[in-house]
C-alpha cells in the first residue's frame, strides 16, 4: 500500500509571525504549487495567519499545535478546532509529549480533542511515544497500545480515515538522539498492528510519521522503512534550508 509521505514541521513556541512568514516564503518558492510529498508547518497560534499568507499559491499547508474540544464557550485562553478551521488551518497536532508532560494532557483529553478535530474535518496528527524509562523497563508496547487505544476510544472507525499518527519517542525529542531505523520501524509496525485491531484493513492507509531529532542527514534512511510514512520535525523545521533538505531526502527514502 503506498502512502503519501507527509513532512510536518512543529515550530513549538518559536518564530515570530514575521520570522515564520519568512521561512514559509522560502518553503513555498521551492515546493511550488504541487508536491509529491505533502508539506505542513505548524506555527504558534499567532503565526498561523502570516504563515498562511506566505504559503498562498503553494502546496505548503498550515496547521496548529493543539486545540480545545468544545466548539466555543467560556474557556479563557483556548482555541477550538472550529476557530482553527476558520483561521485556515488544515491539520492539528494532538497529544504532543510536551503537552502530556507539562500541561496535564491525558489519554482522555487527547481523545476529546481528537473527536473535536474530526468533527470539523481537519486532519488530526496524533502524537504518541514512550519515555526512556518506559522503554528500558520493557513497557514500550504497553505504552503505545494504551496511547493509541485511549485516543481512539469510542470513535467509529469510519470517522478515522484522515488520521495521521506520529510516533515520537520522548527520549529522542530535542535531544539529538535519533531512534535507530530498526527501533523506529519496529515501533511503527507495532503501532500499525494495534491500528489494524481497531480499524481493520483501513489501518494500511494511516500514515505513521516518525518524530524525534529528524535532520537532513537521517531523514532518507528513516523514510526508507516500510512503515515510516513521513516525519514530524521540531528543531530542523525552524530553518527553511534544513526543512527543505528533509523534504528532498524523504523523496529518495
Ligand atoms: P525535534 O522535535 O525534531 O526537535 O526532536 C520533534 C517534535 O517534538 O515534534
pLDDT digits (tens, 9 = 90+) for 153-171: 999 999 999 999 999 999 9
Which residues are marked as active site? Answer: 96, 168
62 lines ligand 1 (CB under 6 A): no
The sign of the CA dihedral 217, 30, 206, 169 is positive
Look up the pTM and report it: 0.97
pLDDT confidence of residue 200: 95
169 lines ligand 1 (CB under 6 A): no
Q: What is the pLDDT of residues 35-63, one digit of tens each?
A: 999 999 999 999 999 999 999 999 999 99
pLDDT confidence of residue 2: 84
CA-closest residue to ligand 1 atom 2: 234
Q: Mean pLDDT across the stretch 200-206?
A: 96
The pLDDT-based confidence of 204 (bands split at 50, 70, 90) is very high
The sign of the CA dihedral 150, 86, 102, 44 is positive
Task: Tell the residue number behind the cell numbers 535507530, with chain if given.
Answer: 180
Q: Which atom of ligand 1 is nearest to the CA of 213?
A: 5
Give, for 221, the enclosing helix (H) or strand (E): helix 219-223
Query: Is the confidence at residue 20, as pLDDT, over 80?
Result: yes
How much of the chain is helix, strand and coil, in % rounded to 5?
Answer: 50, 15, 35
Ordered by start, the domain boundaries in the chain are 6-251
234 lines ligand 1 (CB under 6 A): yes
Query: Is the confidence at residue 253, as pLDDT, over 80?
Result: no
Rg (CA), the chain: 17
Q: What share of the chain has pLDDT > 70, as a percent? A: 100
pLDDT confidence of residue 32: 97
Are the CB atoms for 160 and 199 separated by under 8 Å? yes
Distance between CA 21 and CA 169 in Å, rounded? Answer: 29
Residue 63 backbone phi and psi in degrees, to 5? -130, 180
Separation of 94 CA from ligand 1 center, angstroms? 14
pLDDT confidence of residue 191: 98
Give the CB-side neighbour count of residue 187, counting CA atoms within 13 A: 28
Chain centroid offset of residue 176 CA: 18
232 lines ligand 1 (CB under 6 A): yes
Mean pLDDT rounded to a whole number for the chain: 97
Q: What is the pLDDT of residues 82-126, one digit of tens each?
A: 999 999 999 999 999 999 999 999 999 999 999 999 999 999 999
Give, for 9, the enclosing helix (H) or strand (E): strand 6-10
pLDDT confidence of residue 1: 65
Separation of 74 CA from ligand 1 center, angstroms? 32
Distance between CA 147 and CA 118 in Å, rounded? Answer: 18
- How is domain 6-251 classified at the CATH fold level? TIM Barrel (3.20.20)
Amino acid at each position: 500500500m503506498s502512502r503519501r509521505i507527509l513532512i510536518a514541521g512543529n515550530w513549538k513556541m518559536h518564530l515570530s509571525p514575521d520570522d515564520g512568514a519568512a521561512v514559509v516564503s522560502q518553503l513555498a518558492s521551492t515546493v511550488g504549487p504541487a508536491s509529491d510529498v505533502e508539506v505542513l508547518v505548524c506555527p504558534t497560534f499567532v503565526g498561523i495567519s502570516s504563515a498562511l499568507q506566505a504559503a498562498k499559491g503553494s502546496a505548503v499547508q498550515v496547521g496548529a499545535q493543539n486545540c480545545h474540544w468544545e466548539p466555543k464557550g467560556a474557556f479563557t485562553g483556548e482555541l477550538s478546532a472550529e476557530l482553527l478551521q476558520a483561521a485556515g488551518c488544515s491539520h492539528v497536532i494532538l497529544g504532543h509529549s510536551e503537552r502530556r508532560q507539562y500541561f496535564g494532557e491525558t489519554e482522555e483529553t487527547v481523545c476529546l480533542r481528537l473527536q473535536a478535530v474530526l468533527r470539523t474535518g481537519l486532519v488530526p496528527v496524533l502524537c504518541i511515544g514512550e519515555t526512556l524509562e518506559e522503554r528500558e523497563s520493557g513497557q514500550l508496547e504497553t505504552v503505545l497500545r494504551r496511547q493509541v487505544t485511549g485516543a481512539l476510544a469510542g470513535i467509529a472507525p469510519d470517522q478515522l480515515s484522515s488520521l495521521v499518527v506520529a510516533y515520537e519517542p520522548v527520549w529522542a525529542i530535542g535531544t539529538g538522539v535519533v531512534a535507530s531505523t530498526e527501533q523506529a520501524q519496529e515501533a511503527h509496525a507495532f503501532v500499525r498492528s494495534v491500528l489494524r485491531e481497531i480499524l481493520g484493513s483501513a489501518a494500511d492507509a494511516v500514515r505513521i510519521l516518525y518524530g524525534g531529532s529528524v535532520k537532513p542527514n537521517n531523514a532518507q534512511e528513516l523514510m526508507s522503512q516500510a512503515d515510516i510514512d513521513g516525519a514530524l520535525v521540531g528543531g530542523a523545521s525552524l530553518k527553511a534550508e534544513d526543512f527543505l533538505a528533509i523534504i528532498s531526502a524523504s523523496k529518495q527514502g
